[in-house]
Structure 1
Amino acid sequence: MINCFRRYVETYLSHNVCMTHSPPLIIGAGPVGMAAASFLSRYDIIPRIVDKRAEPSKFSKALAINPRTLELFEASGITDKLLALGRKIHGATIHRNGRIVAEVDFEELEHRFPFMLALSQSATERVLREDLAERGIEIERQIELVESPNLAEGKAELVHVETQANESVTAPWILATDGAHSVARKSVHVPFPGDTYDRAWILDDIPLATDFAPDRAHIKLQDDGFLFLMPVYTGEEKPGEPTVWRVIGNYPEPLAQLTESNPIGESQWNSSFHIAHRLVESMNVGKVYFAGDAAHLHSPVGARGMNLGIEDVWVFAELAKRDELSLYHQQRWPVDNAIVQRIRTITGFVKAESFIKRTLRNLLAPRMLHWKSVRETMLKTVSGLDHPVPLLNTKPEEPPAEEGRRSRRRERNQ
């Protein structure tokens, strides 16, 4: 920094630019970017991580951590911290006309993490920030990547938002985790093909008085749409507080469809959004690599967004350790493509925006979920266990089938 400041002064501020040769650069300090920094630091690869936001977001797009992500975080010691804060979601319940028509349970996976962990993205980010602080990695905030014509060569143009000072950085590689509107992706002109649905979906996080089991996700199949409900946990709940639920639906006012539930407090967050399914044509261009929403988008139906991004950067760190980043596209693009396409298909079935499609969905979905092969596909897709990760060498220690089921039932009944 002293040398940089000296060069800055020597130019008499004529261009307000400081040229530096930096360590590897991560653009974006959301959960995917922070996970990347944590994974890399285990191998003594200490990146610089910058983010244009002045402070972390208070809102949580992601609500659940899947078994695959819990596996990937184990060696870093992060999994235990997440488990201490979150709540276990043991399965999903499908409702139709006021009654339960089907259920799926994660214990069918026979995995050492037979559940989804409900924990808000803001809480997950808090754990990751603390982990980075323990590793001596500081997130540099209010530093924004602007479109950089030579980014593929590792040359990034940064702007310090508060002072408007410019900084030109040359990095050995750049990992872009800067989200759906990635400036890095635009800088290298990589295509991001896919589609966006016209009809908006509505999201509401609100305390509810309801009979819905708080250790499960719930899907309501309606004649004219659908509703998805999931409890929201931050790890800071107080005894006696009502459970906050996330309600998502393809209705203008999804809360009006909750005839068996009553809001008992103010909405904590509501938003409308459009579903997109997209995937970059290449996971890297030159020295720029993409992960998370900068690389792929899909609906929340599969609960894979943040989780898939964390898997991206776990693989990235393993390849960086081996000096084999040339294999990143080969290892990640086929996996990400298969998942995006699968979730597009599932989403199309769930949203069913024509009368005929909704009628077929309402008739078929409950029956299909009684088929073992369909339940297995659904569970593996949501849990992230629908494909192997070649560099993940550890095999889960699975309890004997019956013993595992009994122990988990005892846990749920406590």
Structure 2
Amino acid sequence: MNTVPATASVVIVGAGPAGMTAGIALADAGVNVVLLDKLAEGANTSRAVVVHARTLEVLEQFGVTAALLERGIVVPRFVMRDGDHALARISFDGLPTKYPYTVMIGQESTEAILLARLEKAGAQVYRHTEVTGVGQDADGVTVSYLDADGGANSIRADWVIGADGMRSKVREAAGIGFTGATYPESFVLADVRMTWPDPRDEVSLHLSPEGVTVVAPLPDPRPDRFRIVATVADAPEHQDLAYVQALVDARRPGAHARIEEIIWSSRFRVHHRVADHYRAGRVLLAGDAAHVHSPAGGQGMNTGIQDAAMLGRLLAAVAEGAPEATLDEYERTRRPVALGVVGFTDRVTRMATLRPLPARLIRNLVISTAARIPAFRRALAYQLSELANR
């Protein structure tokens, strides 16, 4: 086990997709960067699975997009349904990008690709290292941590990036508020093997009074692996095959879907929150430490990676002598993006879970009517792909 150095120019707390993206940007610029993560290893489950066009563009500068395409599955269509009735079909074809589609790939694969690139750039992740405190003064920041043996230690840095998730200790230590609320529903997430009537080049969003359900194909040698995300009033701690089958049957009647195996499942609560600021002195935030929201649209990891790419570039410039005011561009640019994503996913989630029949009928009529307009379909595809964030 390697020992964490005593000093670094930048310490990144959290080695998920956002933390590693920032680390790559900094290491490529020759900045001495250290990543700390309390987990003994990276993601070993799929979790976030959608990579949108703008993220593919951003990651192309680091030379990892080709690997994502090689290991993922290209999905150029998005379908919105109520029961077995298609209300809208949205195609990403024709968008002004080299990547007019989404890529479905498990987070464990995304993290493995980013880690290999990070190490190629000369940086390292120190795992099983739990940060316990962050204190800053005029000259730098001291990050306290417990090592793998439980020993207390610290590292001194010029700057710290908190990419340590929704319950960020870095954000808390910096005294930055996290404004928002929690959805009353819980979410079920399951990777399954099943027979499914839709083609494997589309993602479907199902609207129902019981809750919103997303079904998406996942890369696998066998063509029967899918991701299911569903809102429920109160998800059980363990989701067995019968439970997930009942969810699919209720929300896509007539599909004749048959789940054969649950590969992995989980439950979680979803918040919609944005950090009040993205910087406090020498401490900056990225990814889920800065914003969390509904998984509708698969925007979370994408927004975090885009945060981190910009922050890494700006912080590298400051490390090389640019004025600290250069960092002001980060919050000025990226926080409005997060507010927009939170607002968009919140509207989709609330719209999708309408319960009164009259409201659902009106919603369906509005969606199906608007979906006949090419400009509407293009605008929705543009927003989902996050190309407006350029």
Q: TM-score range by the shorter chain?
A: 0.7 to 0.9
Contact 1:209/1:242 (<8 A) preserved: no
Residues 49 and 360 of structure 1, relative CA distance in 2, 3 Å threshold: same
Who is 2:363 aligned against?
A: 361
Contact 1:224/1:355 (<8 A) preserved: no
CA distance in structure 2 between the aligned counterparts of 1:350 and 1:92, rounded to whole angstroms: 15
Larger radius of gyration: 1
Letter aligned with residue 162 of structure 2: A
The superposition leaves residues 217-275 of structure 1 with CA deviations (integer Å, 9 ceiling, x where unpaired) of 01223354332111122xxx32xx24211112224652332442433432112222222
Matched, 1:302 2:297: yes
CA distance in structure 2 between the aligned counterparts of 1:218 and 1:341, rounded to whole angstroms: 21
Matched, 1:371 2:357: no
Matched, 1:249 2:244: no
Letter aligned with residue 154 of structure 1: V
Alignment counterpart, residue 381 of structure 1, candidates 374, 380, 383: 383
Alignment counterpart, residue 25 of structure 2, candidates 25, 36, 39: 39
Alignment counterpart, residue 122 of structure 2, candidates 136, 139, 163: 136
Who is 1:90 aligned against?
A: 76
Residues 31 and 271 of structure 1, relative CA distance in 2, 3 Å threshold: same
Residues 61 and 357 of structure 1, relative CA distance in 2, 3 Å threshold: farther
Aligned length: 368
The superposition leaves residues 16-66 of structure 1 with CA deviations (integer Å, 9 ceiling, x where unpaired) of xx9933231000011111111112122112310110001112122211111
Unaligned runs of 5+ in 1: 6-17, 389-414
The superposition leaves residues 306-340 of structure 1 with CA deviations (integer Å, 9 ceiling, x where unpaired) of 11011101111221232222432222222222222
Letter aligned with residue 352 of structure 1: L
The superposition leaves residues 181-205 of structure 1 with CA deviations (integer Å, 9 ceiling, x where unpaired) of 1011111221101011111122221
Give the deviation of 1:172 after TM superposition: 0.5
Letter aligned with residue 226 of structure 2: W
- Secondary structure at the aligned position of 1:170 is classed as strand
Contact 1:19/1:167 (<8 A) preserved: no
Counterparts of residues 5-404 of structure 1 (less than 5 Å):
20-150=6-136, 153-160=140-147, 162-233=148-219, 237-238=220-221, 241-251=222-232, 253=243, 254-257=247-250, 258-259=252-253, 260-323=255-318, 324-388=326-390
Contact 1:224/1:358 (<8 A) preserved: no
Letter aligned with residue 70 of structure 1: L
Residues 81 and 151 of structure 1, relative CA distance in 2, 3 Å threshold: farther
Give the deviation of 1:281 after TM superposition: 0.5
Contact 1:207/1:245 (<8 A) preserved: yes
CA distance in structure 1 between the aligned counterparts of 2:181 and 2:356, rounded to whole angstroms: 18
Residues 23 and 263 of structure 1, relative CA distance in 2, 3 Å threshold: farther
CA distance in structure 2 between the aligned counterparts of 1:279 and 1:138, rounded to whole angstroms: 29
Residues 270 and 261 of structure 1, relative CA distance in 2, 3 Å threshold: farther
- Secondary structure at the aligned position of 2:338 is classed as helix
CA distance in structure 2 between the aligned counterparts of 1:367 and 1:300, rounded to whole angstroms: 25
Aligned-pair RMSD on alpha carbons?
2.3
Letter aligned with residue 384 of structure 1: E
- Secondary structure at the aligned position of 1:370 is classed as coil
Give the deviation of 1:129 after TM superposition: 1.2
CA distance in structure 2 between the aligned counterparts of 1:25 and 1:112, rounded to whole angstroms: 34
CA distance in structure 1 between the aligned counterparts of 2:66 and 2:354, rounded to whole angstroms: 39
Residues 148 and 265 of structure 1, relative CA distance in 2, 3 Å threshold: same
Letter aligned with residue 230 of structure 2: G
Contact 1:34/1:129 (<8 A) preserved: yes
CA distance in structure 2 between the aligned counterparts of 1:46 and 1:358, rounded to whole angstroms: 55
Give the deviation of 1:70 after TM superposition: 0.9
What is the percent sequence identity of the aligned residues?
26
Who is 2:239 aligned against?
A: none
Letter aligned with residue 350 of structure 1: A
TM-score where L is the length of structure 1? 0.83
Letter aligned with residue 132 of structure 1: L
Contact 1:37/1:46 (<8 A) preserved: no
More divergent stretch after superposition (83-92 vs 317-326)? 317-326
Letter aligned with residue 353 of structure 2: K
CA distance in structure 1 between the aligned counterparts of 2:137 and 2:333, rounded to whole angstroms: 23
Who is 1:397 aligned against?
A: none
Give the deviation of 1:358 after TM superposition: 3.0
Higher strand share: 2
Residues 197 and 353 of structure 1, relative CA distance in 2, 3 Å threshold: farther
The superposition leaves residues 286-322 of structure 1 with CA deviations (integer Å, 9 ceiling, x where unpaired) of 1110000000011111211111011101111221232
Letter aligned with residue 64 of structure 1: V
The superposition leaves residues 118-137 of structure 1 with CA deviations (integer Å, 9 ceiling, x where unpaired) of 11111101111111222222
Give the deviation of 1:151 after TM superposition: 7.9
Letter aligned with residue 265 of structure 1: E
CA distance in structure 2 between the aligned counterparts of 1:36 and 1:357, rounded to whole angstroms: 44
Residues 353 and 177 of structure 1, relative CA distance in 2, 3 Å threshold: farther
Letter aligned with residue 156 of structure 2: T
